[in-house]
Structure 1
Amino acid sequence: MTKKRILLKVGSNTLTKETDHISRGKIEDIGRQIAQLKDNYEFIIVSSGAIAAAKQFVKLEHNGGEINIKQALAAIGQPHLMRIFQENFRELGLFTSQCLLSYSDFEKPESKENIKNTINVLVENNFIPIINENDTVATDEIKFGDNDKLAALTAALLKVDLLLIATNTDGIYTKASIQNGQPKTIDVVKDINLLEKEISLEKSSHGTGGMQSKLEAANIAQKEAIETWIVNGLKDNFITDALNGNSNFTKITS
């Protein structure tokens, strides 16, 4: 049986559980679900959180501006983030690998082919690729999107079956329901323009994307006939519950 391929994107708010440090419990929760599903699904992870990981250990001072400090924090935090993934996943019998990419890699045919071939080899040999943007040399993720666009471009390149974006809400809520204090999830939609009218432009406390960047990611995926699910990654079992239809989330069909 051919396994279905899921690209899971987890942002900083999910990995920190909206605190100021990376949650080992959340990473274990993700690993435990992947271990349960590995007979039927193969996973590629796009993970933010390097800067959040560094902030647990250091406070940098520099006159070079905020972007330079964030790039330095990413360089410090990325090895810590990978170590936490590796330690927690290894206890569950899962093997991890690190891939650092930049948006410019997706503009060159040779680079795209190399990315695809490398990740396919890793997955075929039961190593879970954990992808982040190479923040030390690129600033797009820091400034614009909390890896949502990177996740969508990778999903399209690898022709995955599902783009699963974990955030801190039960998907996208109707604007009216937010205004009356009783958030109601938009369950299934195909027309992304309709969702554009419902979303708030506010960005989350640790992440840099907000819902706008998730819709832009869904648009990239949709053009490649890939469904996008926006789920609440703060909840335990958020992957298995979504796959089993046991949670509220937004499904953007292709």
Structure 2
Amino acid sequence: MAKKKRILLKIGSNTLTKETDNISRGKIEDIANQIAKLQDSHEFIIVSSGAIAVAKQFVKLESKRKELFVKQALASIGQPHLIRIYQEIFRELGLLTSQCLLSYSDFEKQESKTNIVNTINVLVSNNYIPIINENDTVATDEIKFGDNDKLGALTASLLDVDLFIIATNTNGIYTKASMENKAPKTIEEVNDFSVLMNEVVDSKSSHGTGGMQSKVDAISLAKQSNIETWIVNGLEDNFIINAIENKVPFTKIK
């Protein structure tokens, strides 16, 4: 059998909510349908935000403590709900899922890194799709800094994936001039990373904590491991397959 192409798909909160206040089951169905169609030739690992967004649908926490602690509590409430939604929808298509919660400190210890690689390889080889999120209850980096972009890049590098796809709410990265002219034009292919750095206009997403700068930082990490990265509009239906077939504009960083 030919070796399957390994893809790490990072999905932010803005994509999962389709820029609303609720997690979109339809978007998760869209992702599941695409993975089901590609499963004979590709294997997937998912880094998914969205735990806090899910929790906000169910509860409103009152606290006099710092907002950060409230967000950590919301993540604790929302994470099992998020995984349940993934499991229900993926199972309907015969796809098996598992939950992996990681902290940035896990990437600083060799023993932890080895355990991550071995565990995820066992899951993938047995046709399970690992769904990874930061362990927000004890760690704060994702909440404060990156909407899982950095976590996705570190995981992609550790697992030596063939392709790192960041699903966001734009058609890739736009040129600075086109943004200033309010007529966004996608940078379709990047071979010189320094050129990309000069084009980035940072903007925060409405639900996530990341912006385009955090994606460029993630690309830089993946580049150090010689991993190709795609920035794709995850709000569109069939976004993974359309990108693979070059049917939509997106940014490809070689």
Q: Counterpart of 2:220 in 1: which secondary structure?
A: helix
SS in 1 for 2:226: coil
Equivalent-residue separation in structure 2 for 1:6 and 1:190 (angstroms): 20
Contact 1:6/1:42 (8 A) holds in 2: yes
User: For each residue in 1:51-88, what CA deviation from the matched residue of structure 2 results, as whole angstroms up to 9, or x when unmatched?
Assistant: 00000000001011110000000000000100100000
TM, length-normalised to structure 1: 0.99
Count of aligned pairs between the two proteins? 253
Partner of 2:47: 46
Q: Name the counterpart of 2:175.
A: 174
Contact 1:192-1:215 at 8 Å conserved across structures: no
**Structure 1 position 139 matched with structure 2 position 132:** no
Do residues 216 (structure 1) and 217 (structure 2) align? Answer: yes
Give distance in 2, aligned partners of 1:57 and 1:196: 40
**What CA deviation, in whole Å up to 9, does each residue of 1:167-214 have, x standing for no partner?**
000000011111212110000012222222222222010111101111
Q: Supply the distance in 2 between the matched residues of 1:202 and 1:62 (Cα, whole angstroms).
A: 29
Q: Say if 2:31 is the partner of 1:12.
A: no
**Alpha-carbon distance between aligned partners in 1 of 2:119 and 2:251, rounded to the nearest angstrom:** 31
In 1, Cα distance between equivalents of 2:197 and 2:19: 25
Q: Is 1:203 the counterpart of 2:204 in the alignment?
A: yes
Paired position in structure 1 for 2:118: 117
Between the aligned partners of 1:192 and 1:69, the Cα distance in structure 2 is 38
Aligned residue type for 1:67: L
Matched, 1:249 2:247: no
Counterparts of 2:202 and 2:42, CA distance in 1: 34
Post-superposition shift, 1:100?
A: 0.0
Which SS does the other structure have where 2:123 is aligned? helix
- Aligned AA (2:208): G
Measure the CA separation in 2 of the matches of 1:75 and 1:115. 21
Distance in 2 separating the partners of 1:136 and 1:207: 17
CA distance, structure 1, for counterparts of residue 193 and residue 206 of structure 2: 25
CA deviation after TM superposition for structure 1 residue 117, in Å: 0.2
Partner of 1:27: 28
1:10/1:46 contact within 8 Å kept: yes
Q: Which residue of 2 aligns with 1:192?
A: 193
What's the C-alpha RMSD, in Å, of the aligned pairs?
0.6
C-alpha distance in structure 2 between counterparts of 1:15 and 1:144, whole Å: 19
* Cα displacement (A) at 1:36: 0.1
Deviations 1:143-186 (A, max 9, x none): 00000000000000000000000000000001111121211000
Deviation at 1:39, TM superposition (A): 0.2
TM-score of the superposed pair, with normalisation by structure 2: 0.99
Note the residue ranges of structure 2 that are not aligned, 5 or more in a row. none
